[in-house]
Structure 1
């Protein structure tokens, strides 16, 4: 069953979208804002297609699209808007959108767009979007029983902290404190070694070379989505 995320602040439109997609046997999760979504979910790999309103309170649809595209490169993203100007469409595509549809939107057009996007991206294939899990207790990072990386206690703890952090970003002092490293050059070197080893394990498992990003004079960011194993749906 195709899993669809909706972020739309207008209640009536949100309910119409939900009814339309559920009638087509899609699994639907709907939120009125990015903030409401983030309050419930730390990662976004559960969904295969996202339908985003451009004009949202707080974080707008373009910003959400950028975050989703970074976290889930294989996700299909559809932008909805009242504005059909070229510059807005260009902004939508530059943000990572696959399709840009204008309101008011007929149900048949939306379903056809999802069907075409689904076919092009191969999203109906159950194996097309593997979910990466972290088991903190067993200290394992895995897709399935055949794709597993064993972690140290500290590596497991650090990954969990990244997953739960805002924008999956941690500052140097947070990482030093978390690992009980000293706040000096020695502690910084120990942190670099640990991050390097963790980055190597993530890259080996996912194939993504920049599995942990260095943020100059700030800290590190985890640019990939990992789900805690006890949060499986």
Structure 2
């Protein structure tokens, strides 16, 4: 895995370097926001994973994340933050980060999060032969909605839902493949994020909010809130 770690605390980078070497990952280190963004922009398609500190000199992590998402809506981003503020974490997720880890953190926990995110982002590509990657068959297809996990595309009334991050796509797919089934936040954390968040349900809410905004750009809202329980996908109310 080719990783870009943007972290101004050199001791954190040095600590993680030991664990990255153990995984045999190719890691580039940047120590301020502008340096990290420049490294990313030099060749955006080369990166398999970004770890991004929120509190950076020169250019803060929020700005870096926003600029990265303008170029690549899909590169996996894990935000690292020493701040314990819910608003900081939610802002990071709403800007397009796929996950966040609060400092101080266990190196093994960060490695596990990175592996889980990378596995989700690359599983489909690894399983499909090159000759079959472009496939017009839809894994989910209703009267109004369709999704193709091979091309990572989703449509509402034949209008593309653009700019979905890997986690947003997986979240939409998890809900849509079982229409009208209500999922609790805990279930979605386990199914979509592939590991326990120990009750941190803000992650689901932030991703649902961002996903809804992208859906509403093309048509009616199909992700419904079931108050006190969780969320469900339902396109039965979409007008003809």
**What are the within-5 Å matches in structure 2 for residues 95-114 of structure 1?**
95-114=95-114
The residue aligned with 2:7 is: 8
What's the TM-score, normalizing by structure 1? 0.50
The residue aligned with 2:89 is: 89
The residue aligned with 1:69 is: 69
The residue aligned with 1:20 is: 19
Q: How much does 1:3 deviate? A: 0.9
Unaligned runs of 5+ in 1: 129-206, 211-233
Pairs aligned (count): 133
1:33 aligns with 2:32: yes
Q: How much does 1:28 deviate? A: 0.4
Q: How much does 1:44 deviate? A: 2.1
SS in 1 for 2:45: coil
1:47 aligns with 2:34: no
Q: How much does 1:34 deviate? A: 2.5
Q: How much does 1:126 deviate? A: 6.5
Unaligned runs of 5+ in 2: 129-159, 164-240
Q: How much does 1:18 deviate? A: 2.3
Q: How much does 1:123 deviate? A: 6.5
Mapped contact 1:50–1:76 kept (Cα < 8 A):
yes
Aligned equivalents of 1:124 and 1:20: distance in 2?
A: 27
Q: How much does 1:7 deviate? A: 0.4
Aligned equivalents of 2:110 and 2:85: distance in 1?
A: 20
Aligned equivalents of 2:23 and 2:67: distance in 1?
A: 27
SS in 2 for 1:20: helix
**What are the within-5 Å matches in structure 2 for residues 208-223 of structure 1?**
none
Moved over 4 A (4+): 38-41, 123-128
Aligned equivalents of 1:127 and 1:60: distance in 2?
A: 37
Q: How much does 1:79 deviate? A: 0.5
CA deviation vs aligned residue, 1:106-126 (integer Å, no higher than 9, x gap): 111011101110121117947
